[in-house]
Amino acid sequence: MSEISHNIVNESPDAIAKRLMQKAHNRDGLPEIAIGLSFLTVAATMWMQVVFHPGSMGYTAGFWSFALLVPAMILGSQWAIKRVRGQFLIEKAGYVQLKPVNRTRSGIVIGIAFVVAVVAAFAAIKGSFPPASLMLARTGIGGGLLAALSGGIPRFVIGGIVMAATGILVAFSRVSLGLGFAILFGLMGALTLVSGCVVFLLFVRQPAETGE
Amino acid sequence: MSKKIQRLGEIDRIIHEPARLMIVALLAAVEEADFQYLRQATGLTQGNLSAHLSKLEEAGYVAIEKAFRGKYPLTICRLTERGREVLDKYRKVIRAAL
């Protein structure tokens, strides 16, 4: 409770709510499992595009999986988490109905993602990407920072540090961009999945306290 | 400056209590939440949370209703219009004073 009093002086009610909801959201490990699976899928599809020759069945499967399966997994994961919680974990996780999604904000995010994708596609066609090592290091550090700052939980901070360090190491190892991303996302996906599964098992083993 | 400090006297004491502020802030950020979710999110004990919710309900800041989701009984809590107004006023007073 003393921690709460301290935070109330320093944080607005909105910030308190956001922090508490984030903590509750990550309590059962399901978001980490979803992120881990998405990262592993990204790694697998990138690896397929590195290993197989362009035009081959494996390369095409990797390309289309990356283009279609990965966005579907990312967009569908929130829905899947909600379903699993509502169906199997309601006794432990409780029930919450979030406010409707802000359509303007979602539109802006989708618009920015679309512009970034178009710019990246043009850069790929023109071959004007920055050097692979720079992109790998930037992705590792950027992703690490995002992970460390978004959750505010020690295991996320550790994961962020590991991601940043892996990005830098892969950048120095002079591997190709595709292989570098496959290693970076593969390692982070495996780590996140394992951490999510451990948290999930611990959460499920906790005795449920029901009622008031 | 002194006027701003004096405005602190307008703070609603029910909402100013740390645990109750947590509950109200959380409920303001969602449509509705059940007792178990609030307990998980706030880290309060069952007894504590129950007592604070009763006070908020008595003040008319939170509406509580019993429902079922499948076979699972839920105690659903929702911030009332009055609760939202009080929280907004609380935000303004704190922001102005600090």
- The proportion of chain A whose per-residue pLDDT surpasses 70, expressed as a percent, equals 89
Q: Residue B88 maps to which CATH number?
A: 1.10.10.10
Residue A129 has a pLDDT of: 67
Q: For residues A106 and A136, is the Cβ–Cβ distance under 8 A?
A: no
- What mean pLDDT comes out for the span A130-142? 86
pLDDT at A148: 84
Tally of domains within chain B? 1
pLDDT class of A2 with cuts at 50, 70, 90: very low
- Which residue from B28, B32, B42 is facing A13, i.e. has the nearest CB? B28
How many domains does chain A fold into? 1
Taking 50 as the pLDDT cut, the residues of chain B under it are none
Nearest CA in chain B to A27: B40
| Token digits of residue A51 | 């290993």
Interface test with A, best of B8, B13, B22 (most A CBs within 10 A): B22
Owning domain of residue A75:
2-97+130-205
At residue A5, the pLDDT reads 46
**Contact flag B69-A95 (C-beta cutoff 8 Å):** yes
pLDDT band at A209 (very low <50, low <70, confident <90, very high): low
What pLDDT shows up at residue A208?
66
* Dist. CA A97–CA A40, nearest whole Å: 30
Helices B35-42 and A13-25, packing angle to 10 deg: 100
Tens digit of each residue's pLDDT (9 = 90 or more) over A181-202: 999 999 999 999 999 999 999 9
- Write down the pLDDT at residue B2: 67
User: Cα separations (Å) of B97 from A3, A11, A58?
Assistant: 22, 14, 64
* Residue A59: pLDDT over 70: yes
The residues facing B74 across adjacent strands are: B67
Residue-wise burial string across B30-56, b where 16 or more C-beta atoms lie within 10 A, e elsewhere: bebbbbbbbbbbbbbeeeebeebbeeb
The reply to whether residue B24 touches residue A86, judged by beta carbons under 8 angstroms, is no
Alpha helices by DSSP H, listed for chain A, are 2-10, 13-25, 30-51, 57-64, 70-84, 90-93, 103-126, 132-151, 154-172, 177-205
Q: Is the pLDDT of residue A111 over 60?
A: yes
Percent of chain A with pLDDT over 90: 28
Is A93 a member of any domain?
A: yes
Average pLDDT of the residues in A91-103: 81
Q: A96 and chain B: CB distance < 8 Å anywhere?
A: yes
Instruction: Establish if A104 belongs to a structural domain.
Output: no
Q: Which domain holds residue B30?
A: 2-97
Query: Going by C-beta distance under 8 Å and a sequence separation of 6 or more, which residues neighbour residue A164?
Result: A140, A141, A143, A144, A145
pLDDT of res. A24: 83
**Bridge partners, B66 (sequence order):** B75
Residue with the bigger pLDDT between A131 and A183: it is: A183
Stretch A11-38: mean pLDDT, rounded? Answer: 85
**What pLDDT score does A78 carry?**
87
The pLDDT value recorded for residue B33 is 92
Give the B-side interface with A, CB within 8 Å: 18-19, 21-22, 24-26, 28-42, 46, 49-50, 69-70, 72-76, 87, 90-91, 94-95
For residue A43, name the pLDDT band (cuts at 50, 70, 90).
very high
* pTM higher than 0.95: no
Least confident of A56-65, A114-123, A175-184, B42-51: A114-123
Paired tokens of A97: 């109905």
